[in-house]
Each structure stands twice: as structure tokens, then as C-alpha cells.
């Protein structure tokens, strides 16, 4: 019986690791595919809204180049903490890749998603990240939101729309400020 319990625990731990980003502890892109399919199916079945936010850590390459990859890792970890602290318990936060994150927002329309994006942007901007050499690093994220079904009925379409809005936010933040 002990061997069966041990094997079950190892299997469970391995399965959890397969869907988590090791650096941030957030879900990873593999989990994203599963979660989006589940949320879209639920939204279709219940005729309820579903939104997602795509976020990109601004000037991440500069952070790595000027302060080192450990500082870059810490910046990603801080953004992950903000996402976990500013989202609802049933939202899903994902490290999508590199310096990009996705937040899945069940039962949430686009206006609410955009407001959530602003809250995340403000919380990230408030982070005080100090390097080992005593330098402060200002963090900012650009964000774009999209909502089912108005912006698309597939994951790919929703992500493409959020991506366009995120890049527009990034461009606008250079002239008018960082928030959506």
C-alpha cells in the first residue's frame, strides 16, 4: 500500500510540475491551452462573458542587459506576485513565455478586464525592485484585453486581439503614460 501511495504522490507532483512555470510558480503555456478550452466551453454553455489580458514586461531586455539575468528573474517573480495578489481566486494567471503573461478572467467582460489590466499596471509600477548593487529598477507592464464573444470565439482570435491592444498600449505609454 505504501508503494501505491508513494507512486500516486509522485504522479501528482509530476503532473503539477508539468503545468507550472518553475521560476514564477504560475501556470505555464501547457496549462493555458487546457484552461482556455475549459473557460471557452463554459462561456459558450452558460452564455456568459470570458476575457483575457495579455501583459508584457516593458524593457525586459534592458533589465537583463544592464542589471543581469538574476535581476530579470526577480522582476518576473515580482510581476507574478502582483498578478496573484490582484486577481480573483478563480482567475488563472499564466507565464506565457519570456516576459509575457496571460490572465484568464471567467465571467468578466472587456470593460472589467481593462480595469483589471489598469490595476495590474498600477501595482507593477509601485514595485520597488532593488538590485544587489543598490540600483532601483522601475517596472512597467503593457496590457491588452479581449473578451469572448465580442472579440472572437477562439483562443487564437482572443489572443491576437489582446496582443494588438497590448502593443497599442505599449506605444501609447511612451507618449501619454503607462496605463490602459
SS3 helix, strand, coil % of the chain, rounded to 5? 55, 20, 25
Distance CA 102, CA 28 (A): 10
CB burial string 141-175: b at 16+ within 10 A, e below: bbbbbbbbeebbeebeebbebbeebbeebbeebee
d(CA 8, CA 23): 25
User: Is the separation of the CB atoms in 144 and 165 below 8 Å?
Assistant: yes
Choose the catalytic residue: 56, 91, 99, 151.
Answer: 99
Catalytic (active site) residue 99: yes
So which residues are the catalytic ones?
A: 99
Amino acid at each position: 500500500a505504501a508503494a501505491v501511495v508513494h507512486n500516486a504522490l509522485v504522479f501528482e507532483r509530476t503532473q503539477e510540475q508539468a503545468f507550472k512555470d518553475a521560476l514564477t510558480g504560475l501556470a505555464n503555456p501547457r496549462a493555458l491551452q487546457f484552461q482556455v478550452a475549459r473557460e471557452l466551453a463554459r462561456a459558450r454553455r452558460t452564455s456568459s462573458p470570458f476575457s483575457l489580458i495579455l501583459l508584457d514586461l516593458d524593457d525586459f531586455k534592458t533589465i537583463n542587459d544592464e542589471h543581469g539575468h538574476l535581476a530579470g528573474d526577480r522582476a518576473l517573480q515580482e510581476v507574478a506576485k502582483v498578478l496573484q495578489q490582484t486577481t480573483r481566486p478563480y482567475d488563472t494567471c499564466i507565464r506565457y513565455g519570456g516576459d509575457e503573461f496571460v490572465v484568464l478572467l471567467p465571467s468578466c467582460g472587456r470593460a472589467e478586464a481593462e480595469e483589471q489590466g489598469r490595476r495590474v499596471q498600477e501595482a507593477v509600477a509601485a514595485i520597488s525592485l532593488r538590485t544587489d548593487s543598490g540600483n532601483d529598477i522601475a517596472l512597467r507592464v503593457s496590457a491588452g484585453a479581449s473578451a469572448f464573444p465580442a472579440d472572437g470565439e477562439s483562443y487564437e482570435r482572443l489572443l491576437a486581439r489582446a496582443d494588438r491592444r497590448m502593443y497599442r498600449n505599449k506605444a501609447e505609454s511612451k507618449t501619454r503614460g503607462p496605463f490602459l
